Amino acid sequence: MRKQYKYFAFIMAAFVTVLVCSNLIGPAKVTQIDAPLLGVLTFGAGVLFFPISFIFGDILTEVYGYAASRRVIWAGFAGLAFASFMAWMVVALPPAPFWNNQHEYEVAFGSTWRISLAGLVAFAVGEFVNSFIMAKMKILSSGKYLWQRTITSTIFGETIDTVMFVPLAFWNTGIIPNDKIPLIIGAQIVAKILVEVAFTPFMYKIVAFLKRAENEDYYDTKTDFNPFKLEPR
């Protein structure tokens, strides 16, 4: 019988919510800030929230294991796929003659299908890389040095996600000039890693709480790491 957890469903719901919102609401707006020590950073506004999904992924893998994280990743994939289809359908429906906001709606959500498709591909690859590295490093380190595992897995996962997502979502769309895309990629990678570093102290507390509350600290010593399997272990 599969073990029942108190908080797993809540973490999965939070993961999917952050994933869908950060992919649909934030990416098309380009923002620019002057950061201390780093200078001017230009990036899609969604980058401030999307890394939270990787933080949830780290927590899931650390506490519940790779297989549990794998199920949540696919739940997020399904949620984002439906949201993408819904955005495309809503934009494509003809507006009522008296409704004059179609243009603004298309500006806000007209490219959502492409952004979401890019997000689906990049998210799945990046999250599975992140979770795989996290699980393997936990075994190699015997569960020590959580901060090293979370930051290292995030560097690889977020870099792969960003390098795939930005060109697939914005190349030749006019939303972001093509010559600015490498700048956006670099700035987003830096920003995402900084978010992970900033959340590390909180992650320690959350992970410790969940391990006590769930009586779980899973090691993936016998896990099948095939990303397309949905078995519990």
pLDDT tens-digit series, residues 194-226: 888 899 999 999 999 999 999 999 999 999 999
pLDDT tens-digit series, residues 18-58: 888 877 776 667 777 777 766 776 666 766 777 888 899 99
Q: Are 154 and 54 in contact (CB under 8 A)?
A: yes
pLDDT tens-digit series, residues 147-181: 999 999 999 999 999 999 889 888 887 777 888 88
Which backbone phi and psi does 31 adopt, to 5 degrees?
Answer: -120, 160
**What does the alpha-carbon distance between residue 150 and residue 165 come to, in Å, rounded to a whole number?**
21
pLDDT at 193: 87
pLDDT at 1: 38
Query: For the chain, what are the domain ranges?
Result: 8-89+102-210
Cα angle vertex 163, ends 158, 167, to 5°? 135
Tokens of 26: 């934030």
pLDDT tens-digit series, residues 176-199: 788 888 888 888 888 888 888 899
Please say whether the structural domain 8-89+102-210 has been given the CATH code 1.10.1760. yes
Identify the residue with better confidence: 40 or 59: 59
Q: Are 55 and 199 in contact (CB under 8 A)?
A: yes
pLDDT at 36: 74
| Residue 111 confidence class, pLDDT cut points 50, 70, 90 | low
User: Cα 86 from chain centroid?
Assistant: 20
What does DSSP assign to residue 44? E
| Alpha-carbon separation of residue 153 from 108, 167, 207 (angstroms) | 33, 22, 16
pLDDT at 233: 61
pLDDT tens-digit series, residues 62-110: 999 999 999 999 999 998 888 888 888 888 899 999 988 888 777 777 6
Q: Are 61 and 76 in contact (CB under 8 A)?
A: no
HSE at residue 204, side-chain half, CA atoms within 13 A, is: 10
> Helix H segments across the chain?
8-24, 51-64, 66-92, 102-109, 112-140, 146-170, 181-214
Q: Are 153 and 130 in contact (CB under 8 A)?
A: yes
- pLDDT exceeds cutoff 90 at 139: yes
**What does the alpha-carbon distance between residue 77 and residue 53 come to, in Å, rounded to a whole number?**
12
Q: Are 132 and 60 in contact (CB under 8 A)?
A: no
